[in-house]
Chain A
Amino acid sequence: EVQLLESGGGLVQPGGSLRLSCAASGFTFNNYAMTWVRQAPGKGLEWVSAISGSGDATIYADSVKGRLTISRDDSENTLFLQMNSLRPEDTGIYYCAKSRGVSWYYAVDCWGQGTLVTVSS
């Protein structure tokens, strides 16, 4: 069974940093691109970033480019999101999601339960 378990969320002040992790199991991790999607409280879904199955290519939404960095450790089957220079508008639930293929040009077919990030003073 495919499982994704996010961790690392919490309360952080504006300008601060957090590192989110997503532990994956139940599939061959390096065969699939991975994605982060976020959801502000009471709002819709916003695509944030993706990384290829090989880990050598990454893409970002303009709203996070230069502040958030996606990475993966295939030896640990773990996806990361390093979040720097956080802003109040980064507040929300962050979901880790698995692509249906090795590239990001596929729908995502499995989602974690999410981890809540709150940026507030």
Chain B
Amino acid sequence: DIVMTQSPDSLAVSLGERATINCKSSQSVLYRSNNKNYLAWYQQKPGQPPKLLIYWASTRESGVPDRFSGSGSGTDFTLTISSLQAEDVAVYYCQQYYSIPFTFGPGTKVDIK
């Protein structure tokens, strides 16, 4: 199984400041035949289901604010919130959909400082 790790476990950022979350996979999730990284980011607010933010590591889902961006390739990925808003308080998960089982990272909790 591909093991997904995230860092940090939690972070507190001032409103308007940048938040950066890292995700690492135990093996590459880059499929070379189509040059796509099979990596997604989800946001989960308390009491709500997860919401897709980013897929193919860097493609923003329709309707997601452009302050959210994804980057990285192979085994190392980053989710960046360029200017943190109050409504961004949530737990963020990365997930690989390259290899069965499709494992999630443990989550990173983002709060306001």
A residues with a Cβ closer than 8 A to B are 35, 37, 44-47, 50, 59-62, 95, 100, 104-114
B49 touches A109 (CB 8 A): no
Which residue of A is nearest B104, CB measured?
A45
A62 close to B93 (CB less than 8 A): no
Whether the pair A45, B50 counts as a contact (CB closer than 8 A) is: yes
Q: Which residues of A sit under 8 angstroms from B97, Cβ to Cβ?
A: 104-107
What residue of chain B has the Cβ atom nearest to residue A93's Cβ?
B49
Q: Which residue on chain B has the smallest CB distance to residue A106?
A: B97
CA distance in complex: A100, B97 (Å): 12
Question: Are A107 and B49 in contact, CB atoms less than 8 angstroms apart?
Answer: no
Classify chain B: how many residues form its interface, as a range: 20 to 34
How far is it, in angstroms, between the C-alpha of A71 and the C-alpha of B40 when the chains are bound? 25
Given A44-B107, A105-B38, residue A61 in contact with residue B101 (CB < 8 A):
yes
Contact (A47, B38) CB under 8 Å given A111-B49, A114-B49: no
| Complex interface residues of chain B between 26 and 61 (CB less than 8 A to chain A) | 38, 40, 42, 44, 49-52, 55-56, 61
**A95 proximity list for chain B (CB < 8 A):** 49-50
Closest to B99 in A: A105
| Residue ID in chain B nearest A64 by CB atoms | B101
**B102, A112: Cβ atoms closer than 8 Å:** no
